[in-house]
Amino acid sequence: MKMLINVPETVVADALRGMAAAHPELTVDVENRVVVRKDAPVAGKVGLVSGGGSGHEPLHGGFVGPGMLSAACPGEVFTSPVPDQMVRAAAAVDSGAGVLFIVKNYTGDVLNFDMAAELAEDEGIQVAKVLVNDDVAVTDSLYTAGRRGTGATLYVEKIAGAAADEGQPLERVAALAKQVNENSRSFGVALGAVTTPAKGSPTFDLPAGELELGIGIHGEPGRERRPMMTSGEIADFAVGAILDDLTPRNPVLVLVNGMGATPLLELYGFNAEVQRVLAERGVPVARVLVGNYVTSLDMAGASVTLCQVDEELLRLYDAPVSTPGLRWGM
């Protein structure tokens, strides 16, 4: 496989150096693998810290900035960051108002963030945690016990980030983050396998003419493999799986997310089908976001995330944000 890299061993460090050059509004510590808002810590503001394996860009480093995360910890490709990174990030953003760890439900991430929370508290930093587990496709996977954390991470980081920027206290910011997670469900589909730099070839076999329904963001297996379906048929299946698990009482935010190798032409067409299914099911839509936000390197495919919102959550979602990967209102 051809890749725009030097050697697999330096791919994350090289990307962080490039990120630092492109975004002077961030402090990028390449050696220690921490990305921080340049104005951190902000007096009286709860710090938001997240992270995970690299390869899901712009998640998480691309969501650092006003209105979202205070800091992010990138691990190696598809590998959890280590507790030292998380503690360093927490110390860099703590203003005395506490720090919220936003953790996707993958075993390595959960264990390391738990350990980091204990170490940070030993240093006098108040820490709360929220677990993101929005994926309805499977209950357990190669990487996790329980549901995986996927697209809803964007909504948790955006809404909690807006609340933190308003100066809301740690207890309230954490409660809002948990509410967003509870109100969100996701489902992903792979049309092609993912290739990691270290392996240099597809990580699983997906024959031509087939697709995998219910994959995770590391290429984990889904519910089932089927012959290729049309965009409309995939939307029927994916949205149906979400609505089998979530009965929205309020309007929903819709994320149609590319997995890394699917062009916007296809994603917008897929969104049209997602909107059709929601209309047929009588689900009102408040906002729509289409693009590559929670990716899996070069995987072809897409995921759908729905998050039901009340007036307060929608107001916080609409609040200004300025990060490399998401910006509006500024």
At 243-265, the pLDDT tens digits run 999 999 999 999 999 999 999 99
Q: What is the pLDDT of residue 89?
A: 98
Closest listed residue to residue 19, CA positions, set 8, 7, 27: 27
Kindly indicate the confidence band of residue 219, based on its pLDDT and cuts at 50, 70 and 90: confident
Does the active-site annotation cover 218? yes
230, 232, 236, 239 alpha-carbon torsion, rounded to 10°: 110
Catalytic residue, chosen from 33, 37, 45, 56, is: 56
Residue 251 pairs with which residues in a beta bridge?
none
- CA dist 117 and 231 (Å) reads 43
Q: Please pick, among 60, 147, 158, 218, the residue that the annotation labels catalytic.
A: 218
pLDDT digits (tens, 9 = 90+) for 153-197: 999 999 999 999 999 999 999 999 999 999 999 999 999 999 999
Please tell me the predicted confidence (pLDDT) of residue 287.
98
**Is it the case that residue 201 has pLDDT exceeding 90?**
no
pLDDT band at 322 (very low <50, low <70, confident <90, very high): very high
- pLDDT reading at 143 higher than 80: no
What pLDDT band is residue 209 in, cutting at 50, 70 and 90? very high
Pairing of strands 71-77, 224-227: unpaired
Q: What is the C-alpha separation between 54 and 166, in angstroms, rounded?
A: 29
- Known catalytic residue: 60? no
pLDDT at site 330:
81
